[in-house]
């Protein structure tokens, strides 16, 4: 019994150290504060600093609860932050199904520009809504060009595949999400997918820099250039060109349909993946599904000046709203990533370690992970670990 | 007026799905053996069919492009005539021609016979198991437009636009087909897969057509799901899906994803349904030139596609026998080709299936 506990404790320690170290470069872990935003500054000559709202030691962060489970999860995040003594004040902005006019959107935009970072739930888009996806518009307006989703197998979470450790870097502002559609004649609709050399090069460079920063070995570019010869052909060409600047990183390309097949048969072969917008959406969701689902995968949208943190799969969770069964892990891990981004590394680690301990060690699982726990029970357990640590 | 015309155009192709052929009529089917391992696996299928006494006679044609009088490369007229006459085809893997002037053969066939729907039933193969054991779904993909229209432009240097085309006619056609297929094959539910929150007009139109078709087929359940949610749920629990209908690109990706769930393209059948009752059933794997001619190939994908064809023709009893023999052979595990984890030759595998089929009579 004792040896079993000892073994699982050492597995946990190894996993936790791996998990938190993965968000920073292994070599620079001890060399002081490193923030996620520094990664993308490396590749650009722009002098514009990453925006921070910090005064008197306290940070201000925009909070947009959105729809579905957003409001309840944000409540839990605030509670955890209180217990962890996080010096962050939230500026709460309403942007959801009911508050979605141009004024509400403008306020949200200004708030993120003012504070530099935001924690966000998903805003539901009605199919007949006149404005289109506000989530996508926010990302485009703020030029949050990179969506980064880190997907790892979690010990204790039963999945069909093990040893998955993939980072999915998705171009976030163009491609199929350009929102340029028109009906030429009734019953004939064209939707434009835009690929530019500038944005493709930018995301490729971000991906390779990320790989170097985090000690990753391989970057896979995913495309459909055999069919969309000009569009995806351009994306692939830009990735290839950038790969020549990083000879130490292995570069390969894969067609999206083969990639999907490989993801469900042998996902362990992937390391860092760089993809245009839609394929990134697909592969990101496949990867999240393979490692436990939308409840455990955090996501971040990074721009040169701003960053928005949210759940990796961007679900609003409409069907489980208000039922106290949502898994708060994804949002809590996203909030931990946010804290790291603004330089509050020790608070970030405190919260991240607590969440991982609850899932891996305590095994308090909500229904999406096959358990019976409620959201509140998970949050209480997280707070329990946080208080334990802060007492020391 | 327009809708009446459209309806009358749709009805014949849908009605032919229900046509039954008496077992006395020998139906001629166009056979396109293909390249690489194509000829071997086609021969294997023919052998199994004759062992099962299927009332089919084969007309083999070659689709290698020939230069026409105008200098353009085209599918040989003999092949086109054959398909137009027989309306049914079985196709092995085709090598993609390299070099300019050769059209994509698959695309040419699709255009020539207006193959508007690609159907891939994905069912877990007993005995050749993956980590997904309970897959039983069908992906139906619109095959003619969408993101694969091939309309691309370089606007200015470094800016490219690809046009995704969605038309009401094509969407309605594939949606109708999906519900008819579900009804004919005893499936309960059709799910429309889309991204209408992002591509509101195009996927919105597709969704509208699916909803309209659902209204006409109230006995089949219908729901809609975002593409990303489908991917997320598919890899966690594929048993929740039944029939999926979607535009071209999503269909391409999802059908390959589902093929991966059951073990890859070597065991996945595929059918392309066209207007006026035409249909081409094919294996979707590659030509495997490295093992061509060595009696190592696995004919399962082509065989299951041929079984699909039998069902399409109404020869359900023959279809059942051959499919049962094939799955039993794989399940027993003694005689399997190398890609299925065995060490038998293609001919041995084929003979075992023939033996089982004959034993069933």
Q: Which residues of A touch B143 (CB under 8 A)?
A: none
Name the residue of chain A whose CA is nearest to B200's CA.
A127
pLDDT at A3: 46
A249 contacts A211 by C-beta, under 8 angstroms:
yes
B232 contacts A285 by C-beta, under 8 angstroms:
yes
The C-alpha atoms of residue B351 and residue B345 are separated, in whole angstroms, by: 10
pLDDT at B80: 87
pLDDT at B17: 47
* Mean pLDDT across A366-390: 95
The C-alpha atoms of residue A75 and residue A242 are separated, in whole angstroms, by: 43
CB contact under 8 A, B130 and A231: no
- Helical H segments across chain A, by residue range: 2-21, 36-42, 70-84, 102-115, 134-141, 197-213, 231-244, 256-265, 277-290, 329-341, 345-360, 375-391
Select the residue from B131, B161, B203, B244 to test the A interface by mutation, using most A Cβ atoms within 10 A: B161
A43 contacts A206 by C-beta, under 8 angstroms:
yes
- Which pair of structure tokens corresponds to residue B291? 């093992």
- Which pair of structure tokens corresponds to residue B226? 């975002």
The C-alpha atoms of residue B165 and residue A192 are separated, in whole angstroms, by: 9
Q: Which residues does B129 contact at the CB level (< 8 Å), separation at least 6?
A: B263
Q: Which residues does A47 contact at the CB level (< 8 Å), separation at least 6?
A: none
What is the share, in percent, of chain A residues with pLDDT greater than 70? 87
Burial of B118: CB neighbours in 10 Å, binned 0-12, 13-18, 19+: buried
Q: For B238-276, what is the HEC assignment?
A: HHHCCEEEECHHHHHHHHHHHHHHHCCHHHCEEEEEEHH
* First CA to last CA distance, chain A: 28
Select the residue from B103, B155, B192, B228 to test the A interface by mutation, using most A Cβ atoms within 10 A: B228
Name the residue of chain A whose CA is nearest to B231's CA.
A286
CATH 3.40.718.10 fits A51-125+133-150+295-391, yes or no: yes
Residue A123 pLDDT grade (very low, low, confident, very high; cuts 50, 70, 90): very high
Give the residue with greater pLDDT, A278 vs B68. Answer: A278
Q: How far is CA A77 from CA A65, A124, A338, B279, B346, in A?
A: 11, 21, 12, 56, 60
The C-alpha atoms of residue A163 and residue A329 are separated, in whole angstroms, by: 20
Name the residue of chain B whose CA is nearest to A191's CA.
B164
Closest CA to B283 of B339, B217, B212: B339
Q: Hey, which bits of chain B come out as E strands? A: 27-32, 56-60, 66-67, 73-74, 88-91, 115-123, 136-142, 146-156, 159-167, 189-194, 221-226, 243-246, 269-274, 279-283
Name the residue of chain B whose CA is nearest to A194's CA.
B161
Q: Point out the residue among A189, A286, A293 whose CB comes nearest to the CB of B205.
A: A189
CB contact under 8 A, B253 and A256: yes
pLDDT at A10: 55
CATH number among 3.30.70.2190, 3.40.50.2300, 1.10.3720.10, 3.40.718.10, domain B28-116+265-360: 3.40.718.10
Name the residue of chain B whose CA is nearest to A260's CA.
B257
A194 membership: H or E segment, kind and range: strand A188-196
Residue ranges covered by each domain of chain B: 28-116+265-360, 131-262
- Helical H segments across B166-247, by residue range: 168-184, 202-216, 227-234
CA–CA min distance B269, chain A (Å): 15
- Unique residue bearing structure tokens 């290698």: B64
Closest CA to B191 of B213, B162, B222: B222
Here the ipTM equals 0.87
Select the residue from B5, B132, B198, B263 to test the A interface by mutation, using most A Cβ atoms within 10 A: B198
CB contact under 8 A, A188 and B259: no
Q: Point out the residue among B200, B234, B260 whose CB comes nearest to the CB of A261.
A: B260
Span B140-157, pLDDT tens digits: 999 999 888 889 999 999
The C-alpha atoms of residue B275 and residue B166 are separated, in whole angstroms, by: 18
Q: Which residues does A55 contact at the CB level (< 8 Å), separation at least 6?
A: none
* Residuewise pLDDT in 10s, chain B (361 residues): 555 555 545 444 444 444 444 444 689 999 999 989 999 999 999 999 999 999 999 999 988 878 878 877 778 888 888 988 999 999 999 876 655 455 567 777 888 888 999 999 999 998 888 999 989 999 999 999 988 888 999 999 999 999 999 999 999 999 999 999 999 889 999 999 999 989 999 999 999 999 999 999 999 999 999 999 999 999 999 999 999 999 999 999 999 999 999 999 999 999 999 988 899 999 999 888 889 999 999 999 999 999 999 999 989 999 999 999 999 999 998 889 988 888 899 999 999 999 999 998 7
CB contact under 8 A, A195 and B160: yes
- Which pair of structure tokens corresponds to residue A180? 């340029």
B248 contacts B141 by C-beta, under 8 angstroms:
yes
Q: Which residues of B touch A288 (CB under 8 A)?
A: 232
The C-alpha atoms of residue B3 and residue B212 are separated, in whole angstroms, by: 13
Phi and psi dihedrals of B151, rounded to 5?
-100, 105
The C-alpha atoms of residue A178 and residue A155 are separated, in whole angstroms, by: 39
Give the residue with greater pLDDT, B107 vs A23. Answer: B107
Q: Which residues of A touch B260 (CB under 8 A)?
A: 260-265
Select the residue from B250, B260, B261 to test the A interface by mutation, using most A Cβ atoms within 10 A: B260
CA–CA min distance B147, chain A (Å): 8
Domains A51-125+133-150+295-391 and A160-291 share a fold: yes
Burial of A391: CB neighbours in 10 Å, binned 0-12, 13-18, 19+: exposed
CB contact under 8 A, B253 and A282: yes
Q: Which residues of A touch B227 (CB under 8 A)?
A: 281-282
Select the residue from B106, B229, B232 to test the A interface by mutation, using most A Cβ atoms within 10 A: B232
Span A54-87, pLDDT tens digits: 888 899 999 999 999 999 999 999 999 999 999 9
Name the residue of chain A whose CA is nearest to B165's CA.
A190
A243 alpha carbon, distance to own chain's centre: 24
Name the residue of chain B whose CA is nearest to A187's CA.
B168
CA–CA min distance A289, chain B (Å): 5
- Which pair of structure tokens corresponds to residue A154? 């979690």
Span A294-348, pLDDT tens digits: 999 999 999 999 999 999 999 888 899 999 999 999 999 999 999 999 999 999 9
CA–CA min distance A96, chain B (Å): 14
CB contact under 8 A, B148 and A182: no
Q: Which residues of A touch B200 (CB under 8 A)?
A: 127, 129, 132, 181
CB contact under 8 A, A127 and B200: yes
Instruction: Considering the domain delimited by A160-291, tell me its CATH architecture.
Output: 3-Layer(aba) Sandwich (3.40)
How many interface pairs between A and B have CB atoms less than 8 angstroms apart?
162
Select the residue from A153, A160, A163, A264 to test the B interface by mutation, using most B Cβ atoms within 10 A: A264
A367 membership: H or E segment, kind and range: none
A170 contacts A284 by C-beta, under 8 angstroms:
yes
CA–CA min distance B167, chain A (Å): 4
Span A233-275, pLDDT tens digits: 999 999 999 999 999 999 999 999 999 999 999 999 999 999 9
Span A202-232, pLDDT tens digits: 999 999 999 999 999 999 999 999 889 999 9
- Unique residue bearing structure tokens 């923030």: A35
Domains B28-116+265-360 and B131-262 share a fold: yes
CATH superfamily label, B131-262: Isopropylmalate Dehydrogenase (3.40.718.10)
Burial of B218: CB neighbours in 10 Å, binned 0-12, 13-18, 19+: exposed
The C-alpha atoms of residue B50 and residue B9 are separated, in whole angstroms, by: 36
The C-alpha atoms of residue B92 and residue A249 are separated, in whole angstroms, by: 39
CB contact under 8 A, B253 and A313: no
CB contact under 8 A, A190 and B229: no
CA–CA min distance A164, chain B (Å): 14
DSSP 3-state of A25: coil
pLDDT at A21: 39
The C-alpha atoms of residue A210 and residue A215 are separated, in whole angstroms, by: 8
Span A127-143, pLDDT tens digits: 677 778 899 999 999 99
Residue ranges covered by each domain of chain A: 51-125+133-150+295-391, 160-291
Angle between helix B346-360 and helix B38-51 axes, rounded to 10 deg: 20
The C-alpha atoms of residue A310 and residue A386 are separated, in whole angstroms, by: 21
CB contact under 8 A, B198 and A179: yes
CB contact under 8 A, B165 and A136: no
pTM reported for the whole predicted model:
0.87
Q: Which residues does A128 contact at the CB level (< 8 Å), separation at least 6?
A: none
Q: Hey, which bits of B275-322 come out as E strands? A: 279-283
Name the residue of chain B whose CA is nearest to A294's CA.
B232
Q: Point out the residue among B199, B228, B253 whose CB comes nearest to the CB of A313.
A: B228
- Which pair of structure tokens corresponds to residue A361? 């060690």
Q: What is the dihedral of CA A296, B189, B285, A225, to 10 degrees?
A: -60
B236 contacts A289 by C-beta, under 8 angstroms:
yes
């Amino acid at each position: 019994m004792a040896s079993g506990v000892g073994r699982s404790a050492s597995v946990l320690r190894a996993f936790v150290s791996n998990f938190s170290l993965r968000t920073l470069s292994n070599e620079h872990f001890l060399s002081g504060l490193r923030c996620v935003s520094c990664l993308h500054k490396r590749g650009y000559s722009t002098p514009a600093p990453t925006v921070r709202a910090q005064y008197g030691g306290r940070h201000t962060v925009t909070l947009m609860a959105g729809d579905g489970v957003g409001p309840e999860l944000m409540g839990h995040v605030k509670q955890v932050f209180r217990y962890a003594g996080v010096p962050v004040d939230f500026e709460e902005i309403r942007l959801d199904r009911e508050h979605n006019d141009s004024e509400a959107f403008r306020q949200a935009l200004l708030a993120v520009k003012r504070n530099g970072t935001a924690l966000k739930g998903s805003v539901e888009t009605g199919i007949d809504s006149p404005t289109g996806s506000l989530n996508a518009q926010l990302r485009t307006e703020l030029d949050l060009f990179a969506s980064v989703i880190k997907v790892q197998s979690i010990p204790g979470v039963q999945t069909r595949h093990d040893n998955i450790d993939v980072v999915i870097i998705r171009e976030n502002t163009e491609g199929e999400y350009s929102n340029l559609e028109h009906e030429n004649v009734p019953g004939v609709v064209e939707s434009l997918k835009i690929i530019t050399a500038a944005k493709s090069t930018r995301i490729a460079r971000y991906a390779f820099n990320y790989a170097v920063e985090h000690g990753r070995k391989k970057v896979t570019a995913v495309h459909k250039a055999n069919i969309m010869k000009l569009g995806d052909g351009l994306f692939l060409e830009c990735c290839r060109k950038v790969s020549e600047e990083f000879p130490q990183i292995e570069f390969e390309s894969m067609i999206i349909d083969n990639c999907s097949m490989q993801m469900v048969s042998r996902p362990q072969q992937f390391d860092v993946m760089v993809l245009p917008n839609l394929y990134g959406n697909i592969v990101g969701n496949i990867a999240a599904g393979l490692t436990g689902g939308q409840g455990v995968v955090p996501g971040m949208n990074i721009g040169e000046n701003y960053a928005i943190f949210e759940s990796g799969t961007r679900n609003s969770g409409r069907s489980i709203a208000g039922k106290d069964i949502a898994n708060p892990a994804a949002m809590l891990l996203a909030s931990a990533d946010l804290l790291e981004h603004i330089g509050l590394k020790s608070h970030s680690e405190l919260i991240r370690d607590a969440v991982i301990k609850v899932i891996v060690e305590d095994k308090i699982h909500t229904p999406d992970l096959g358990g019976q726990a409620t959201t509140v029970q998970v949050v209480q357990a997280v707070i329990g670990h946080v208080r334990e640590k802060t007492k020391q | 007026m327009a809708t009446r015309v459209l309806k009358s155009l749709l009805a014949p192709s849908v009605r032919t799905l229900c046509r039954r052929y008496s077992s006395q009529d020998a139906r001629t089917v166009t056979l396109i053996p293909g390249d690489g391992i194509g000829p071997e696996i086609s021969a294997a299928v023919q052998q199994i069919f004759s062992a099962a006494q299927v009332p089919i006679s084969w007309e083999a044609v070659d689709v290698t492009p020939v230069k026409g009088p105008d200098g353009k490369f085209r599918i040989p007229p003999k092949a086109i005539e054959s398909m137009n006459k027989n309306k049914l085809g079985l196709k092995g893997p085709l090598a993609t021609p390299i070099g300019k002037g050769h059209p994509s053969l698959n695309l040419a066939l699709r255009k020539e016979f207006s193959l508007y729907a690609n159907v891939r039933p994905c069912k877990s193969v007993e005995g050749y198991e993956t980590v997904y054991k309970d897959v039983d779904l069908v992906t139906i993909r619109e095959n003619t437009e969408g993101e694969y229209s091939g309309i691309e432009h370089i606007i200015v240097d470094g800016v490219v636009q690809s046009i995704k085309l969605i038309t009401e006619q094509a969407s309605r056609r594939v949606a109708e087909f999906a519900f008819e297929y579900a009804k004919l094959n005893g499936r309960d539910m059709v799910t429309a897969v889309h991204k209408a929150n992002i591509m509101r007009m195009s996927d919105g139109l597709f969704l509208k057509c699916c909803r309209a078709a659902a209204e006409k087929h109230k006995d089949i359940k219908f729901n809609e799901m975002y593409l990303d949610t489908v991917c997320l749920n598919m890899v966690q629990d594929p048993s929740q899906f039944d029939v999926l209908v979607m535009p071209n690109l999503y269909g391409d990706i999802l059908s390959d994803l589902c093929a991966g769930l059951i073990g890859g393209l070597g065991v996945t059948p595929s059918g392309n349904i066209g207007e006026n009752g035409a249909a081409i059933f094919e294996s979707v794997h590659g030509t495997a030139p490295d093992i061509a001619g060595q009696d190592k190939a696995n004919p399962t994908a082509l065989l299951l596609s041929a079984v699909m064809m039998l069902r399409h023709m109404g020869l359900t009893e023959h279809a059942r026998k051959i499919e049962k023999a094939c799955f039993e052979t794989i399940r027993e595990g003694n005689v399997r080709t190398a890609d299925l984890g065995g060490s038998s030759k293609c001919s041995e595998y084929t003979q075992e299936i023939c033996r089982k089929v004959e034993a069933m009579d």
